[in-house]
Amino acid sequence: MVKGCGVDIIEIYRIAQALEKDRFKDKIFTKHEQKILQGKAAQSWAARFAAKEAVMKALGSGWQRGVSFKQIEIGKDQWAKPIVQLFDRAQEIANERGINEIHLSLSHNRTTAIAYAIAVGEE
């Protein structure tokens, strides 16, 4: 059963500018994500940023319920499909809402990145 959905789109130049500051990476991305994204173009970073925003919306949490960007980690499985791992308050909210999986789709072109998240769980 669908419990929530979220979408986010961002202009890549905004993330490219933010990446010039190390504190942006440390505030938004986990160490694991930073390792995966190291050396990648701004499009990849922007898509992951959009994914975190989309997941927050799918959870129905936003920042108002104590969820931070680093509590949402975007990785990939053996087929390069994006996967979501939740920590701390983000995981608590998922549990409270009966969410046991979040499906994620990411895309980008030269100027924008977009992510769509669907949170699912038992009825």
Q: 3-state DSSP call for residue 11?
A: strand
**Catalytic annotation on 108?**
yes
For residue 98 the two structure tokens come to: 């009966």
**Catalytic annotation on 70?**
no
From the candidates 31, 52, 57, 103, give the one annotated as an active-site residue: 57
- The strand pair at 112-121 and 2-11 is best described as antiparallel
- Torsions phi, psi for 102 (to 5 deg): -125, 120
Is pLDDT at 62 greater than 70 in this prediction? no
Is pLDDT at 11 greater than 90 in this prediction? yes
Mean pLDDT of the chain: 95
Domains of the chain plus CATH, in order, are 2-121 (3.90.470.20)
Res. 65 pLDDT band, cuts 50 70 90: confident
pLDDT tens digits for range 16-53? 999 998 799 999 999 999 999 999 999 999 999 999 99
pTM of the model: 0.94
From the candidates 35, 70, 103, 108, give the one annotated as an active-site residue: 108
